[in-house]
Amino acid sequence: MTCFFIKVSLRGRRVFLCLIAAACVLSARSGLAVEVVFQLEGPNSLLAAPFVEALQMPMTAQDPEGASLTTTYSGTVTVDVDDVMNPTTITFISANAVAANSGNWLPQEGGGDVGDPNMGGDANPGTPMPANYGFVLDVPDFVTFYGAVRDSILSYSSPAKPVTGGEFDPIDIAITIPQGWFDGNISSVPLSEFESANRQSITGQDGLNCRDDDGMGDSCASMASYIVSGNEITLTVPMNFFYGGGTPVVQFTGTLVATASLEEPTGDYNGDGTVDAADYVVWRDNIGTDAGYNLWRSQFGQTVGNGAGATANLTIVPEPAGMALSLMGILAALPWTVRRRSVV
């Protein structure tokens, strides 16, 4: 490990300090990764538009009013930002967006019964059961196809995306399905070979947000936003993505809105559990507000959990540069009663 030896004069004595080279280099730049956990609340919903590629026909809602093609989502979205109050970059880390059951829909779990293959048209979709979405393709005297999406969850991830004025482009956010099922049941009168009932896992399917079905272009009509108002942050993300590739292909469109509450920070800016001189260095180079300084000064010497307060929904993770600055702050805070010693 390489050291830089720095000679300083303290009260007439020469003292050599050894700083790790990486710390010295990294201190030239600074930054904090702030992890923010948002809650999906309110009227979050996505519309499903299924399409049977083999027949080149769209499926419609089982409910005549179309309610089964829209469902709401709840859960969390976790992002990293470089500045919680006014970010210039945002990175989607994960999400746990759980789809609600919009009603009881056909077919039942597993797809129901195929029926007698020697008697066309008697495939039985079973009994309506709770599902996130329920849709049907009904062509008289030809085919009836019931489909339902059940127990589905969405997750998101992305590289760092630039933020300007609180807005960023939602294109290419990766949408992954860590859990979900598609139940299908097909019956037909003239083509008995179309009779089938099955359950397909949709776990692991993914797509890119705002990409057309051919993977080209930007299909989102508006920008995403990260807005701070008072003690609340609102994250708004337009969604337009596909999953499938078999029967059916499903396009999801809508907007998801999530919020996070800002509580009073602790003053422990480097997250080591103690409010000390190292936190001053992080504040100086990354935060720099009078309020932040006054908070640090008022909490100096305290440990988290001993009257230092709490920060809800936020985890401040020092990047390497931040750690280097913290190390230098610790060195700066050392008492200057250092005995001279030999350095080999």
Is the per-residue pLDDT at 89 higher than 70? yes
Res 313: pLDDT: 57
pLDDT, tens digit, 9 for 90 and up, residues 37-51: 999 987 799 999 998
Closest residue by Cα to residue 151 from 95, 100, 206, 94: 100
Report d(CA 173, CA 219) in Å as an integer: 13
- Kindly report which listed range (97-111, 136-150, 173-187, 304-318) carries the lowest average pLDDT score: 304-318
Res 121: pLDDT: 64
Is the per-residue pLDDT at 166 higher than 90? yes
Q: Percentage of the chain with pLDDT > 70?
A: 65
Is the per-residue pLDDT at 208 higher than 60? yes
DSSP β-bridge partners for residue 291: none
pLDDT, tens digit, 9 for 90 and up, residues 133-158: 999 999 887 888 999 999 999 999 99
Return the higher-pLDDT residue of 104 and 296.
Answer: 104
- Kindly report which listed range (153-162, 200-209, 272-281, 293-302) carries the lowest average pLDDT score: 293-302
Q: Are 282 and 269 in contact (CB under 8 A)?
A: yes
Report d(CA 328, CA 297) in Å as an integer: 19
Res 55: pLDDT: 77
3-state secondary structure 47-109: EEEEEECCCCEECEECCCCCHHHEEEEEEEEEEEECCCCCCCEEEEEEEEEEECCCEEECCCC
Res 190: pLDDT: 63
Res 204: pLDDT: 87
Res 142: pLDDT: 82
Return the higher-pLDDT residue of 194 and 197.
Answer: 197
In this prediction the pTM is: 0.71
Res 91: pLDDT: 97
Other C-beta atoms closer than 10 Å to the C-beta of 24 total 16
pLDDT, tens digit, 9 for 90 and up, residues 281-299: 877 777 666 666 666 666 6
Highest mean pLDDT range out of 62-76, 279-293, 300-314, 315-329?
62-76
Residues 6+ apart with CB under 8 A from 331: 17, 19
Is the per-residue pLDDT at 254 higher than 90? yes
Res 62: pLDDT: 94
Six-digit token pair at 80?
A: 């990293």
